[in-house]
A and B are shown apart, each in its own frame.
Chain A
Amino acid sequence: MRYLRLYLCFLRFSFSRAMAFRVDFFFRILMDVVWNIVNLAFFWILYQHTPVLGGWTFDQMMVFLGGVFVYDAIHMTVFSSNLWWFPIAINKGDLDYHLVRPVPPLFILSLREFAANSFVNLLVAAGILIWSLVRYPEPLRLFSVAVFLALLAVGVSLHYALNMIFLIPTFWMHSSSGLRDIFFSLEQYVTRPYGIFRGWLARMLTTILPFALVVSFPTRALFEGPSFSLLLHMLGVTAAAYIVMLTMWKSGLRAYVSASS
Chain B
Amino acid sequence: MTARLLWNIFSVEVRKRMSYRADFWINSVVGVLVSLSVFWFLTYALFSASGQTMLAGYTERGMILYYVFVALMGRIVQSNEMEMGISQDIYEGSLTRYLIYPVSYKAVKYAEQAGSVAPQLIQLTLFGILAPLIIGIPPEVHITPASVAMGLTSLALANVLHYLLVIPIQAVAFWADNVWSLLVAERFAIAFLGGQLLPLGLFPEWARAGLEWLPFPYLFSFPARTLMGSVGPAEWAFGMVIALLWCGVAAGVGRWIWRRGDLEYSGVGI
Q: A42-B198, A45-B203 are in contact. Are A24 and B181 (CB under 8 A)?
A: yes
List chain A residues, Cβ under 8 A from B26. 178, 182
List chain B residues, Cβ under 8 A from A54. 45
Q: Does A188 contact B (CB under 8 A)?
A: yes
List chain B residues, Cβ under 8 A from A186. 30, 34
Closest residue of B by beta carbon distance from A197: B41
Q: A50-B50, A53-B46, A53-B49 are in contact. Are A21 and B177 (CB under 8 A)?
A: yes
Encoded as 1 (CB less than 8 Å from any A CB) or 0, chain B from 161 to 190 comes to 000000000000001111111101100110
List chain B residues, Cβ under 8 A from A198. 41, 44
State the CA gap A199–B36 with chains docked (Å): 16
Q: How far is the CB of A176 from chain B (nearest CB, A)?
A: 11
Q: Size class of B's contact patch?
A: 35 or more
List chain B residues, Cβ under 8 A from A21. 177-178
Closest residue of A by beta carbon distance from B28: A181
Of B22, B45, B179, most buried by chain A (CB within 10 Å of CB) is B45
List chain B residues, Cβ under 8 A from A52. 49
* Residue pair A30, B37 in contact (C-beta under 8 Å): no
State the CA gap A134–B124 with chains docked (Å): 46
Closest residue of B by beta carbon distance from A23: B176
State the CA gap A114–B106 with chains docked (Å): 36
Q: How far is the CB of A202 from chain B (nearest CB, A)?
A: 9
* Residue pair A42, B37 in contact (C-beta under 8 Å): no
Within 8 A of B (CB), among A11-45: 21, 23-24, 27-28, 30-31, 34-35, 38, 41-42, 45
State the CA gap A52–B175 with chains docked (Å): 47
Q: How far is the CB of A174 from chain B (nearest CB, A)?
A: 12
Q: A23-B177, A49-B202, A178-B26 are in contact. Are A41 and B49 (CB under 8 A)?
A: no
Which of A31, A177, A192, A196 is B182 in contact with, Cβ under 8 Å?
A31
State the CA gap A185–B27 with chains docked (Å): 9
List chain B residues, Cβ under 8 A from A38. 188-189, 191-192, 197
Of A185, A186, A189, most buried by chain B (CB within 10 Å of CB) is A185
Q: Does A48 contact B (CB under 8 A)?
A: yes
Encoded as 1 (CB less than 8 Å from any B CB) or 0, chain A from 201 to 231 comes to 1000000000000000000000000000000
* Residue pair A188, B35 in contact (C-beta under 8 Å): yes
* Residue pair B184, A31 in contact (C-beta under 8 Å): yes
Q: How far is the CB of A168 from chain B (nearest CB, A)?
A: 18
* Residue pair A181, B27 in contact (C-beta under 8 Å): yes
List chain B residues, Cβ under 8 A from A51. 49
Q: Does B136 contact A (CB under 8 A)?
A: no
Which of A35, A175, A196 is B41 in contact with, Cβ under 8 Å?
A196
Encoded as 1 (CB less than 8 Å from any B CB) or 0, chain A from 144 to 183 comes to 0000000000000000000000000000000101100110
* Residue pair A27, B31 in contact (C-beta under 8 Å): no
Q: How far is the CB of A92 from chain B (nearest CB, A)?
A: 18
State the CA gap A188–B197 with chains docked (Å): 12
Encoded as 1 (CB less than 8 Å from any A CB) or 0, chain B from 1 to 45 comes to 000000000000000000000110011001100110110011011
Q: Does B53 contact A (CB under 8 A)?
A: no
Interface residues of A, count at CB 8 A: 36
Q: How far is the CB of A91 from chain B (nearest CB, A)?
A: 15
Q: How far is the CB of B16 from chain A (nearest CB, A)?
A: 13
Of A24, A177, A201, most buried by chain B (CB within 10 Å of CB) is A24
Q: How far is the CB of B75 from chain A (nearest CB, A)?
A: 12
List chain A residues, Cβ under 8 A from B176. 23-24, 27
Closest residue of B by beta carbon distance from A201: B37
* Residue pair A178, B27 in contact (C-beta under 8 Å): yes
Q: Does B55 contact A (CB under 8 A)?
A: yes
List chain B residues, Cβ under 8 A from A31. 181-182, 184-185, 188
State the CA gap A185–B34 with chains docked (Å): 6
Which of B30, B188, B198, B202 is A34 in contact with, Cβ under 8 Å?
B188
* Residue pair A201, B181 in contact (C-beta under 8 Å): no
List chain A residues, Cβ under 8 A from B204. 45, 48
List chain B residues, Cβ under 8 A from A244. none
Q: Does A46 contact B (CB under 8 A)?
A: yes
List chain A residues, Cβ under 8 A from B31. 181-182, 185
Q: How far is the CB of A220 from chain B (nearest CB, A)?
A: 16
* Residue pair B202, A30 in contact (C-beta under 8 Å): no
Of A189, A196, A197, most buried by chain B (CB within 10 Å of CB) is A196
Q: Does B125 contact A (CB under 8 A)?
A: no
* Residue pair A49, B46 in contact (C-beta under 8 Å): yes
List chain B residues, Cβ under 8 A from A189. 34, 38
List chain A residues, Cβ under 8 A from B50. 49-50
List chain B residues, Cβ under 8 A from A50. 46, 49-50
5 A-B interface contacts by CB (under 8 A): A27-B176, A30-B181, A30-B185, A38-B192, A185-B35
